[in-house]
Amino acid sequence: MAKNLQDTTTLHNGTKMPWLGLGVFKVEEGSELVHAVKSAIKHGYRSIDTATIYDNEKGVGQGIHEAILENNISREDLFVTSKVWNADLGYESTLAAYETSLNKLGLEYLDLYLIHWPVEGKYQDAWRALETLYNEGRVKAIGVSNFQIHHIEELMKIATIKPMVNQVELHPQLTQKDLMEFCKEQGIQMEAWSPLMQGQLLDHPILQEIANKHNKSIAQVILRWDLHNGIVTIPKSTKEHRIIENADVFDFELSTDDLSRIDGLNQNHRVGPDPDNFNF
Q: Which residues participate in catalysis according to the annotation?
A: 54
**Closer to ligand NDP at the Cβ: 230 or 272?**
272
Length of the chain in residues, anyone? 280
Residues 144-203 that bind ligand NDP (CB under 6 A): 145-146, 167, 193-199, 202
Q: Are strands 79-84 and 110-115 parallel, antiparallel or unpaired?
A: parallel
Q: Calculate ∠ Cα 236-165-138, nearest 5°.
A: 95
Whole-angstrom distance, CA of residue 39 vs CA of residue 115: 28
* Site string (12-51) toward ligand NDP, x via CB under 6 A: -----------xxx-----------------------x--
Is there a contact between 83 and 115 (Cβ–Cβ < 8 Å)?
yes
Asked if residue 101 binds ligand NDP (CB under 6 A), the reply is no
Question: Among the candidate windows 57-65, 97-105, 242-250, 256-264, which touches ligand NDP by CB under 6 A?
Answer: 242-250
Give 51 or 67: the residue with its C-beta nearer to ligand NDP.
51
Kindly state the number of chain residues that form the binding site for ligand NDP, as judged by CB under 6 A.
28
Nearer to ligand NDP, 157 or 241 (CB): 241
What values do phi and psi take at 87, rounded to 5? -65, -20
Chain mean position to CA 187: 17
Query: Do the Cβ atoms of 202 and 196 come closer than 8 Å?
Result: yes
Binding site for ligand NDP (CB under 6 A): 23-25, 49, 116, 145-146, 167, 193-199, 202, 217, 219, 234-239, 242, 245-246, 272
